[in-house]
Structure 1
Amino acid sequence: MIQILHNKMLSSKAYMDIEAKYGAKNYKPIPVVIKRAKGVWVWDPEGKKYLDCLSAYSAVNQGHLHPKIIKAVKKQMKSVTLTSRAFYNDRLGSFLQKLCDVSGMEVALPMNTGAEAVETGIKIARRWGYRIKKVPVNQGEIITCNDNFHGRTTTIVGFSTDPGANEDFGPFTPGFVNIPFNNTNALEKAITPNTIAFLVEPIQGEAGVIIPDAGYLKKVREICTKHNILLITDEIQTGFCRTGKMFCFMHDDIKPDILLVGKALGGGVMPVSAALSSKAVMDVITPGSHGSTFGGNPLACAVGEASLDVLIDEALAERSEKLGKYFLEGIKEINSPLFKEIRGKGLFIAIQLTDEAGKARKYTEQLKELGLLAKETHEHTIRLAPPLIIKESEIDWALSILKQVFIG
């Protein structure tokens, strides 16, 4: 029997063995144990240092343990952490105001995880469809895209096209219609009198950082307005400066009807998410119709405000745009025969490997051995998304590791 001694340093293997014995097998992590983190760097129990190029799937845009966020956490923990929404608290209003200000939306409904934000967006849209658009009750349809990723709840996996996400989890929730991503003709053809909304990622992250054609979202906005359907943008990964703007929809100078956010809103400290909209749409949500015990808790609000302050004060959108271009060009210059395509927007980058290169997992493990942490997605793609505070010199170091693995 493995006994955990919290005051004793265990080896990486020991920690992995404990997790393997007592944990469900729903993940297959890169074989590295992270015991300490700061900024863009993490360390294992043996003291080896790694550059984090995943950022907890873009949840750590501000870097690990950002001092301003940690200071806000410590201060709030001395006051109050949880009240539930049965009562008001002194942090929620100012947090929601700041979140609405940075997004250009009018009102926000706070939740915890990204999947909860998506579920919230679906509920808002459906109720709007029945009460405002007057779609026959229980006949409403929401259009989604092939290769989407919006979370892991039973409703959400039901409209996933990834068998690994939904196999043997049915029966699935009806009311969703899938179309190809980056295809406005398919969107227009899929719309019926019962269509309520179109739910889309501005860039498909889990699919491999799939970037649509220029002007795609602008055309989507026109179509949704024309047919009186809600445009819901899932910016849980692309939001909060990851792509070079505060939100990815801003590249197209549009505004969604419902905006879904999470991940980096929690500053790498705790789950904080929200669905944002206009008052006209959000007003369909009434007392008792939706909620969350932890959603909007004072500690989360303190974290969320500090996280937004860091993004703004440190100009991380501009930094992401500039350094993203630098990183992207540097990868292209490696010119490896194993690279099929390099794509990215801001510091949201993917290396798609050739079929001859084989699966990406062996390369992410090689990168790990050399001190760079990245993660494969869809077998042949490596995603690179470091904290937005990364320096040019640190990108240069990452490029040297990539060159070592893919050129030799």
Structure 2
Amino acid sequence: MSAMTELSGGPALPQERRLVTEIPGPRSRELMARKQAAVADGVGTVMPVFAQAAGGGVLVDVDGNSLIDFGSGIAVTGVGNSAEAVVRRATEQLNRFTHTCAMVAPYEGYVEVCEELARLTPGDHAKKSVLVNSGAEAVENAVKIARYHTGRQAVVVFEHGYHGRTNLTMALTAKSMPYKHGFGPFAPEVYRVPMAYPYRWLTGPEHCAEEAAAQVIEHITKEVGPENTAAILVEPLLGEGGFIEPARGFLPRVARFAREHGIVFVADEIQSGFCRTGQWFACEDEGLVPDLITTAKGIAGGMPLAAVTGRAEIMDAAHVGGLGGTYGGNPVACAAALGAIETMRELDLPARARRIGEVMKPRLRALAEKYPLIGEVRGRGAMLAVELVRPGTTEPDAAATAAVAAACHNAGLLVLTCGTYGNVLRFLPPLVIGEDLLNEGLDVLEEALAQV
């Protein structure tokens, strides 16, 4: 077992890839049949294996196969699947009480998490938070708060953006299938503007930031009206849309425009936050200080918790009783979040994410040189991706992407896909993974690319 796994706590699992059956094995196939009979078909499955244990950089299925984890439950288990501090604090809280409702009888853990968020998020201004259950719920509350604060209604979002599956967040999300198709009508007063996507910018990446920012500003000025715009909502490093890094200079220009016109600038850090990109939050890369920031996923080591954190005068705009929810800031989830943050500090997980990037990115670039199927390597820290295209073109190749992912799965490497065109392989290893597993996982990826 790697030293990093020992420090992170969790089950004493051998940190190795080990296949003892085909993928999926007989027990997983049996459980999948039960799932199909009892669970709605709309709940999909990326990899058809059922988990039995997980820790460090591996996931063990019910057939005894040990798989290398490059997914982290979609960027959730950055501190590991059962980090010692998360388990200890959550267990202690379970033994005290599981619920009172923070709006009925509050508890110290809720306040402590909000204090930590005020310390950790960018900016030295006074901040406050509200805790909720999911990323989509955090985004909805950010929009509510921005609208109340400004007295305006319009919300500006970006091409390729993803913000959730509720009715409002589906309207905010760009991609139709599978997130929006058939679920309308959607919430009104949502306006979509171009994203500075360097790889696909028609006049070339060197013009991307300036031209995209000009288009965004013109669209808001001419078609929405800055005086009507409550919020501009953006992922500083896009998640489901394809791990797109906006061209440098684009986001600061848009944020400055928002500030000049009294528009609330909201950073959606649900996938990119909590050390994932090599900083506590991705917006720090260009010195962005958002008015509001939404967080979830990596915040609590796998327990359901999310937050909106922002300028105190904006967060305090809503009337008493206007924010909250029965389970928001559940005490066990709050305890887990405090344990996760403790782990991030003690293990210096921002540095660990940067190291993961130092190991993975050169190897991914070498694969891009060898396999023209890879159009671009991008991302920061432990949030990396390759975009797959038809060789010699920029035409997205979703079929090849699915085939590479399936080959990885069959060989014991859990990878995820994403992207507006379904042609991006994304890599989100736990920040506590050992370097030997990182390199072995990249070996498996190369074998899968060779097959395709």
Same fold (TM over 0.5): yes
Residue 309 of structure 2: which of 267, 276, 279 is its match?
A: 276
Q: Which residue of 2 aligns with 1:87?
A: 105
1:196 equivalent in alignment to 2:217: no
1:317 equivalent in alignment to 2:343: no
Compute the TM-score of the two structures, normalised by the length of structure 2. Answer: 0.84
Letter in 2 for 1:194: N
Q: Is the CA contact (8 Å cut-off) linking 2:416 and 2:426 kept in structure 1?
A: yes
Letter in 2 for 1:166: K
Give the secondary-structure state (helix, strand or coil) at the position aligned to 1:350.
Answer: strand
- How many angstroms apart in 2 are the aligned matches of 1:15 and 1:168? 29
Which is further off, 181-190 or 194-203?
A: 181-190
Residue 128 of structure 2: which of 107, 110, 122 is its match?
A: 107
Which is further off, 87-96 or 174-183?
A: 87-96
- How many angstroms apart in 2 are the aligned matches of 1:337 and 1:199? 35
Residue 382 of structure 1: which of 413, 419, 425 is its match?
A: 425
Q: 1:186, CA displacement in angstroms? A: 2.2
Letter in 2 for 1:321: R
1:400 equivalent in alignment to 2:443: yes
1:64 equivalent in alignment to 2:81: yes
Q: 1:322, CA displacement in angstroms? A: 2.2
Letter in 2 for 1:143: V
Residue 153 of structure 1: which of 152, 163, 166 is its match?
A: 166
Gaps of 5+ in 1: 1-8
Q: Deviation per CA, 1:159-214, whole angstroms, max 9, x where unpaired?
A: 33322122222222111110011221122111412111100001111011011111
Q: Which residue of 2 aligns with 1:12?
A: 28
Q: Deviation per CA, 1:53-100, whole angstroms, max 9, x where unpaired?
A: 011110111111111111111111111221102112132212211121
Q: Is the CA contact (8 Å cut-off) linking 2:234 and 2:266 kept in structure 1?
A: yes
Q: Is the CA contact (8 Å cut-off) linking 2:385 and 2:427 kept in structure 1?
A: yes
Residue 63 of structure 2: which of 12, 31, 46 is its match?
A: 46
Q: Deviation per CA, 1:313-371, whole angstroms, max 9, x where unpaired?
A: 11111111122132011111122232121111111111111236633122111101111
- How many angstroms apart in 2 are the aligned matches of 1:159 and 1:110? 21
Q: Deviation per CA, 1:223-273, whole angstroms, max 9, x where unpaired?
A: 1111111100000000001111000111111210010000111212x1110
Q: Is the CA contact (8 Å cut-off) linking 2:122 and 2:284 kept in structure 1?
A: no
Q: Is the CA contact (8 Å cut-off) linking 1:10 and 1:45 kept in structure 2?
A: no
1:180 equivalent in alignment to 2:194: yes
Q: Is the CA contact (8 Å cut-off) linking 1:320 and 1:346 kept in structure 2?
A: yes
- How many angstroms apart in 2 are the aligned matches of 1:219 and 1:391? 39
- How many angstroms apart in 1 are the aligned matches of 2:242 and 2:171? 20
Q: Is the CA contact (8 Å cut-off) linking 1:355 and 1:380 kept in structure 2?
A: no
1:244 equivalent in alignment to 2:242: no
Which is further off, 270-279 or 81-90?
A: 81-90
- How many angstroms apart in 1 are the aligned matches of 2:255 and 2:354? 24
Q: Which residue of 2 aligns with 1:264?
A: 298
- How many angstroms apart in 2 are the aligned matches of 1:260 and 1:236? 6
1:143 equivalent in alignment to 2:156: yes
Q: 1:10, CA displacement in angstroms? A: 7.4
- How many angstroms apart in 1 are the aligned matches of 2:31 and 2:131? 35
- How many angstroms apart in 2 are the aligned matches of 1:95 and 1:55? 22
Q: Which residue of 1 aligns with 2:260?
A: 226
Alpha carbons of 1:104 and 1:337: their partners in 2 closer, same or farther (altered >3 Å)?
Answer: closer
Compute the TM-score of the two structures, normalised by the length of structure 1. Answer: 0.92
Q: Is the CA contact (8 Å cut-off) linking 2:164 and 2:173 kept in structure 1?
A: no
**Percent identity over the alignment?**
27
Q: Is the CA contact (8 Å cut-off) linking 1:208 and 1:377 kept in structure 2?
A: yes
Q: 1:104, CA displacement in angstroms? A: 4.0
Alpha carbons of 1:285 and 1:10: their partners in 2 closer, same or farther (altered >3 Å)?
Answer: farther
- How many angstroms apart in 1 are the aligned matches of 2:45 and 2:340? 29
Q: Moved runs in structure 1, 4+ residues, more than 4 A?
A: none
Q: Which residue of 2 aligns with 1:4?
A: none
- How many angstroms apart in 2 are the aligned matches of 1:248 and 1:316? 14
Q: Which residue of 2 aligns with 1:255?
A: 289
Q: Which residue of 1 aligns with 2:405?
A: 364
Residue 211 of structure 1: which of 245, 263, 266 is its match?
A: 245
Which is further off, 53-62 or 355-364?
A: 355-364
- How many angstroms apart in 1 are the aligned matches of 2:439 and 2:150? 50
Give the secondary-structure state (helix, strand or coil) at the position aligned to 2:137.
Answer: helix
Q: Deviation per CA, 1:6-40, whole angstroms, max 9, x where unpaired?
A: xxx97111011111111112214222222211121
